[in-house]
Structure 1
Amino acid sequence: MRKVYMNRELSWLKFNERVLEEAENKKVPLCERLNFAAIYQSNLDEFFMVRVGSLVDQMLLKKDIRDNKTNLTPEEQIKKILAEVGKLNRRRNVVYDEIMEELEEYDICITDFKKMNEKESEYVKRYFQGEIAPIIFPTIVAKRQPFPFLRNKEIYAVVVLETKSGKEKLGIIPCSSGMFKRLIELPGKRGTYILAEEVILHYMPEIFKGYRVKAKSLIRITRNADIDADALYDEDLDYRDFMVEVIKQRKKLAPIRLELSREMDGEVISTLCHYLDLDRDYVFYNEGPLDLSFVYEIQDKLRYVPELFYQKRIPQKSVQFEEGRPILDQILEGDKFLSYPYDSMKPFLTMLHEAANDKDVLSVKMTLYRVAKQSKVVEALIEAAENGKEVLALVELKARFDEENNIEWSRRLERAGCHVIYGLDGFKVHSKLCQITRKAGDEVQYITQIGTGNYNEKTACLYTDLSLMTADTEIAKEARRVFQALAMGEVVEHTDKLLVAPLCLQNKVLAMIDDEIAAALAGKDAYIGLKMNALTDKKIIDRLIEASCAGVKIDLIIRGICCLIPGVKDATENIRVISIVGRFLEHSRIYIFGSKGREKVYIASADYMTRNTLRRVEVAAPVCDPAIRERLLEMFRIMLNDNQKARHEDSEGNYRIPMTIEHPVDAQETFYQQAYEAAASKNV
């Protein structure tokens, strides 16, 4: 039997390759292709900071640690990762050059000194002398001047200097500064720019006078960001203050990758690696810019050319809600549902503001994982607290790379009188759960919202997510138990309706897979459909393989990591895997168990990753309303039929967009078109 498992890290690289393919895709508008190239790079940065960093940490333990699916050691995984990244980076450099060449037709050009005339060169020299040279801080590495600390993901110019006596020294200058512009526009050539770091590199001989410049390059390092906060925590410390220190510590962790813009002598690279305590294998040469974040400024300059961008789409008013009536009352009458970014988030925000100002509302409870910088959600919670409501906010301070934002919001919530808690020892709280308690006469009413995505207005326009709002008393009772457990530092040990990790999700998922296996063995139609970001939980994967062998038909829509290889004879031949990578980030999670007419349908915050199923607090909710359930099933069917942005994984673990002459189906565009048509029909 051929292999049925794929290594998690290599599967992730295949996902980032799909992102890169969108940059290469000539059907994608030009500025959007540039955006995908930048996303590829930022994804890769985080991958090195977290995943490669974790593997290096494992390797340093000198223990026999192996991937539980492919039996690869950390060393073997890293070797394969570095080889694959080298190939992908070469493709990234090629596509960047192609895109920038095409942008010259729209009077946008990133130039260099070789292409400038004398007048332009003179202007850049004056700009350097007047705007950059006075504020840069050069360093020479010597016995009395140690190698400087290089900040994570920032660009530095490095030069090899030779003294009159023939000795070599290193000169280093930081190029990432908010004190001067990164894009320097040339006079008389509107839209023609040179990058500030290239200017600094060019004028290194003027900065280090008295030395002969032997070699020079721009460099950029990526630092390990994999810190186990729970392992370091001291109970005598204030947790929020502790997390502030964790953030500071992360910025100083060991380098995990070195990128260069110029090829340099091997001895020089060895010297840099020595100072950075980095192995040569982690050094990458990139012909293009080391940091593509400037592309967003270029996009802003081209907004007047609509064909360079996707067609403008605006989240629509949901037909689920009637205008002019309180949202809370409408939810009490029947379950409501929003699908982002196609539906506007406004009804949910309105619900929170209604709760903040409703004299009958007693409390508002919410779990917050990632929120917007200017969060209307948090402002509504503050408004509720200031109006005398009991507000419980669980702010997850371990939301990686969002810690600082969450720390600041937690302070503001506390100042407003909210009861703020920070999660559990050993478990991240990743659930998207909100509950409003209201007393109408002698009756206590509960409005519970369960979502697949964060309470973030910005990502609600960029990510596909689902939000269910219900007055179901059984769901309310179990959601209340989740909040009670969190407030006491505990986890829920039993549920009947909700699936709640870490104790009541994986086991219930396995039981539902077993039900489908039993149905198939009894000769009945059996089906499992799952949509999520990642599938790595080996226990669930093995049970899905067992289900496939029993004859259960299984459809998996997995955007990112998928450690299960489909289509392998006598193992996964009844499993289909597709990945949709398009304009919007696929983030929603849908679980379907059961063939037509007997489907159990859930929306969830959890992917099937061990970290989600066993090491986080996650919530999945059953969709009981027949109309909403049917809409979810129809959405799932449309995604399965996508032949524009959906790549199908083959039995070798490779992903391809199927060659088809059928009617083109782009699921995301279909859902937006449906939202526009529904909103228009409502306004007729």
Structure 2
Amino acid sequence: MKNVFMNRELSWLKFNERVLEEAERECVPLCERLSFASIYQSNLDEFFMVRVGSLTDQMEVDPDSRENKTNMTAKEQLKAVIARVGELNERKNKIYADLMKKIAEQGVALVDFSKLTAEENSQLEQYFLNQIAPLLSPMVVGKRQPFPFLKNKDIYAAVVLESKNSKEKLGVISCGSEVFPRLIKVGSTGKYMLSEELILHYVPKIFKGYTVKSKSLIRVTRNADIDADALYDEDLDYREFMADLIKKRKRLAPVRLELSRQLDNNIVDLLCKQLEVNKKSVFRNSTPLDLSFLFQIQDILRQKTELFYKKRVPQRFTAFDDNKPILPQIKKKDRLLSYPFDSIKPFINMLREAADDKNVVSIKMTLYRVAKHSEVVEALCEAAENGKDVLVLVELKARFDEENNIEWSRRLEKAGCTVIYGLEGYKVHSKLCLITKRSGTKTEYYTQIGTGNYNEKTSRLYTDLSVMTCNKDIAKDAIDVFNALASDDTVKSVDKLLVAPNCLQNKVLDMIDEQIAIAQSGGEGYIGVKINSLTDKKIIDRFIEASRAGVKIDLVVRGICCLIPGVEGETDNIRIISIVGRFLEHSRIYMFGKGEERKIYIASADFMTRNTLRRVEVATPILDEDIKAQISMMFDKMLADNCQARELDSDGEYTLVSDGKEPLNSQEFFYDLAYERASKAEVEDK
């Protein structure tokens, strides 16, 4: 019988392969394909820093432990990951070469010295000598000069040097600088060269007195999987501790070495020894080692609009009257914002209105990732300065956003907000806001629950949902959540909301059981879920049980999916698709049942054990019938997507959906709908 489980790490690599495929697809505008190529690489960097770093640590600490789905040890997983990454990189190299050929046809070419005229060579040599060479810090490794520390993801030139007495030494030069540009213009004909290639070419002019035997650009990726809670000393100031942790992360052990040229085995062995990298984790790339410069090429070609997606901007949310206060409109009826199709402005306006409303007594909010120039934080600061009681939980363990969050926490405290920093042992990943308004003896609560961060920038790039309600039962649960957080505790029981770590996984399992019971009694059991990742073994096992009982299950899982559908007798009632497109699919929807009895939730939590048991997450029921109908429609359109959706088959492979029906790109459909509504409202306003 076929296996019904897929290894988590290999499933993630399949997701990144889907990102890479977007760089390959002819139907994607050329300059947008550059974005997907660069995103593929940055995704892979983070994968090595976090997941491969974690596996490397696990192999050292507990080499015999096995993961709970495919029973692989850390060593077996690493072996499979490295082999698969090698295959994907070969594909990336071919796609990159094809992209750059097409970009050259648009008048922008990335060139090497073999393609330059004598005049261009002379120009570059003078540029190097005058603008770059004085800024470099070359180093020859020897007894008096140990091997230098190589920064995470920075590019270096590694050079094998032969001295006059025929001894070989290793020279190292950092190619990273904020002073000179990465893309260097060559002449005036649309030709460009990467600064690291210019440096590598002219290394003989740097290491005078040596003969250059061989050379390559190199780049190391360092382990960034630090468990902040395991390292935390309660006697330290937590914010300062996190700041120190960020510095430590930058110095952690390398888990990957990338080369741009072929080097002799003995030199590779030397680099591996100095860096303490396993030779199996050395990758030779024919593409540049950092593809972020592709965004600069996009900027050069920005005027050629046909090379980009059609311009789309978030639309006015027509369910709100812009000329009236926000809070009374929420009191009248629950509201749903769907990003990036709807603008985040109504939510920002709600916070600003609450900050200025003399009857608003408090605002409580959880912050995980916010924009660098955050209107959300500014509104909270304004509220505190206006005398409101503002409580903000800032999660300092939001990976790779810690520095930004530390800075905002200082700003919030300075404005008079009460700031707390999460719980020991748990990340607070919920998207929860509670506004309390009091007039005389009457108290009103306005609760917002979302699937995505309070971040104006990502609200234009990620698909997310945000519901605003005046429901008292939901507010009561929200009050309990904030009271628990303020007491350094987790909620033990709730009425309406689902709240991890104690009251989400178990309630989801109960609702799956309800659908199993319906199917077993001859009814039509149904489960529809949209999440980013599916790894929670308990939930997966219950999905399998439900499938066996005849429950129809539709799963829209963007990234990691450890469950294989379509296995006869096991998962043959389960369909799984992944949508990878222009916008990052980020919303989480849980649906149980059909018709009037259907339960619908939106949530901050994926079905991963880290979300369901090791984080504070919040899911809210959708109680408004109009909003329930809207979310059901959105889910159905995603299931019908035959442009960006890929279906997972019983062999564990993803293929683009090709059903012969009229093309439907769900993301573009929702944007068309938003534009249509906004246009209609504009006409009515006139």
Task: Give distance in 1, aligned partners of 2:444 and 2:644.
Answer: 43
CA displacement 1:355-409 (0-9 Å, x = unmatched): 0000000001100000000000000000000000010000000000000000000
How much does 1:302 deviate? 1.1
- Which residue number in structure 1 is paired with residue 577 of structure 2? 578
SS in structure 2 of the partner of residue 294 of structure 1: helix
Residues 117-266 of structure 1: pairs in structure 2 closer than 5 A? 117-189=117-189, 191-266=190-265
Tell me, in whole angstroms, the C-alpha distance in 2 between the residues paired with 1:161 and 1:270: 16
Amino acid at match of 1:651: S
The whole-number CA distance in structure 1 between the counterparts of 2:49 and 2:201 is 30
* CA deviation vs aligned residue, 1:138-190 (integer Å, no higher than 9, x gap): 0000011000000000000010001122211000000010011111101232x
1:82 is aligned with what amino acid?
I
Please state how far the C-alpha of 1:659 moved relative to its aligned partner: 2.4
Q: Secondary structure at the match of 1:491?
A: coil
1:63-121 deviation line (CA, Å, top 9, x unaligned): 42111000000000000000100111111111111111111122111000010010000
Listed one character per residue, the Cα deviations across residues 201-253 of structure 1 (whole Å, up to 9, x for unaligned) are: 00011111111111000000000000011001111000000000100000000
1:79 matched to 2:79:
yes
Q: Structure 2: where are the runs of 5+ without partners?
A: none
Q: Count matched residues.
A: 683
TM-superposed CA distance for 1:672, in Å, is: 0.2
Q: 1:298 Cα deviation (Å)?
A: 1.1
Distance 2:146 2:277 in 1: 17
**Conserved 8 A contact 2:19-2:39:** yes
Checking the alignment, whether the CA contact within 8 Å between 2:243 and 2:403 is kept in structure 1 is yes
Gaps (5+ residues) in structure 1? none
Where in structure 2 are the equivalents of 1:235-314 lying within 5 Å? Answer: 235-314=234-313
Partners of 1:440 and 1:388 lie apart in 2 by 16
**C-alpha deviation, 1:605, in angstroms:** 0.1
Amino acid at match of 2:182: R
For 2:305 and 2:439, the matched residues in 1 are separated by 52
Alignment-derived partner of residue 397 in structure 1? 396
Q: Is the 8 A contact 2:63 2:75 kept in 1?
A: no
Q: CA RMSD, aligned part only?
A: 0.6
Query: Is 1:664 the counterpart of 2:656 in the alignment?
Result: no
Instruction: Give SS of 1:153's match.
Output: coil
Q: Does 1:552 align with 2:541?
A: no
Within a 5 Å distance, the mapping from 1:510-549 to structure 2 comes to: 510-549=509-548
CA drift of 1:662 comes to 1.1
1:15-63 CA-partner distances (Å, limit 9, x unpaired): 0000000000000000000000000000000000000000000001144
Aligned position for 1:25: 25
Aligned to 2:605: 606
CA deviation vs aligned residue, 1:243-283 (integer Å, no higher than 9, x gap)? 00100000000001000000111111000000000110000
Q: Does 1:358 align with 2:357?
A: yes
Q: 1:417 & 1:357 partners in 2: Cα distance?
A: 16
Give the drift of 1:661.
Answer: 2.2
What's the counterpart of residue 330 of structure 1? 329
Give the AA of the match of 1:149.
F
Structure 1 counterpart of 2:97: 97
* Secondary structure of the structure 2 residue equivalent to 1:4: coil
Residue 597 of structure 1, CA deviation: 2.6
1:507 deviates by: 0.2
CA contact (8 A) 2:63 2:74 kept: no
1:596 to partner: Cα distance: 2.5
Secondary structure of 2:630's counterpart equals helix
Once residues 269 and 434 of structure 2 are traced to their aligned partners in structure 1, the CA distance between those partners, rounded to angstroms, is 57
Q: Secondary structure at the match of 2:618?
A: strand
Is the CA contact (8 Å cut-off) linking 2:340 and 2:462 kept in structure 1? yes
Letter in 1 for 2:121: S
Match of 2:439 in 1: 440
Name 1:464's counterpart in structure 2. 463
Aligned to 2:623: 624
Residue aligned with 1:159, SS: strand
Deviations 1:426-483 (A, max 9, x none): 0000000000000123210000000000000000000000000000000000001000
**Corresponding position of 1:36:** 36
For 1:105 and 1:54, how far apart are their aligned partners in 2?
A: 43
Matched AA of 1:70: T
Deviation at 1:658, TM superposition (A): 2.2
Give the AA of the match of 1:564. L
TM-score calculated relative to the size of structure 1: 0.99
Q: CA separation in 2, counterparts of 1:188 and 1:504?
A: 63
Match of 1:116 in 2: 116
Report the Cα distance in structure 2 between the residues aligned to 1:332 and 1:153, rounded to whole angstroms: 50
CA shift, 1:320, in A, is: 1.5
1:60 to 2:69 alignment: no
Report the residue type matching 1:182 in the other structure: R
Aligned to 2:448: 449
Mapping for residues 405-416 of structure 1, pairs under 5 Å: 405-416=404-415
SS of residue paired to 1:215: strand
The 4+ residue runs of structure 1 with deviation greater than 3 A are none
Alpha-carbon distance between aligned partners in 1 of 2:488 and 2:226, rounded to the nearest angstrom: 22
User: 1:340, CA displacement in angstroms?
Assistant: 0.0
Report the Cα distance in structure 2 between the residues aligned to 1:176 and 1:660, rounded to whole angstroms.
Answer: 48
8 A Cα contact 2:63 2:73, kept in partner? no
SS of alignment partner, residue 597 of structure 1:
helix
Whole-Å Cα distance in 1 between the matches of residues 440 and 344 of structure 2?
A: 30
Give the residue type in structure 2 aligned to 1:4: V
Name the CA distance, whole Å, in 1 between partners of 2:196 and 2:276. Answer: 25
Structure 2 CA distance for aligned equivalents of residues 176 and 188 of structure 1:
25
Contact 2:161–2:211 under 8 Å retained in 1: yes
> Using the alignment, how far apart are the partners of 1:258 and 1:37 within structure 2?
20
1-side partners of 2:477 and 2:519: how far apart? 32
Residue 10 of structure 2 corresponds to 10
Q: Secondary structure at the match of 1:446?
A: strand
SS in 2 for 1:67: coil
Secondary structure, in 3 states, of the residue corresponding to 2:597?
A: coil
User: In structure 1, how many angstroms separate the alpha carbons of the residues matched to 2:577 and 2:419?
Assistant: 40
What does 1:480-491 align with in structure 2 at a 5 Å threshold? 480-491=479-490
Give the whole-Å Cα distance in 2 for the aligned partners of 1:149 and 1:195.
23
Task: Establish whether residue 378 from structure 1 lines up as the match of residue 382 from structure 2.
Answer: no
State the one-letter code of the partner of 2:161.
L
Partner of 1:69: 69
Query: What residue number does 2:633 align with?
Result: 634
Question: Counterpart of 2:595 in 1: which secondary structure?
Answer: coil
Instruction: Give the match's secondary structure for 2:119.
Output: helix
SS of the equivalent of 1:576 reads: strand
1:619-641 CA distances to partner (integer Å, 9 max, x unpaired)? 00000000000000000000000
Q: Deviations over 1:569-595 (max 9, x none)?
A: 010000000000000000000000012
Whether 2:652 is the aligned partner of 1:653: answer yes
Cα distance between partner residues in 2 of 1:43 and 1:188: 34
Instruction: Return the alpha-carbon distance in structure 2 between the equivalents of residues 221 and 126 of structure 1.
Output: 30
How far is the alpha carbon of 1:683 from its aligned partner? 1.3
Deviations 1:636-676 (A, max 9, x none): 00000000000000001100012232100000000000000
Whole-angstrom CA distance in 2 between matches of 1:660 and 1:100: 33
| % same residue | 63
Amino acid across the alignment from 1:12: W
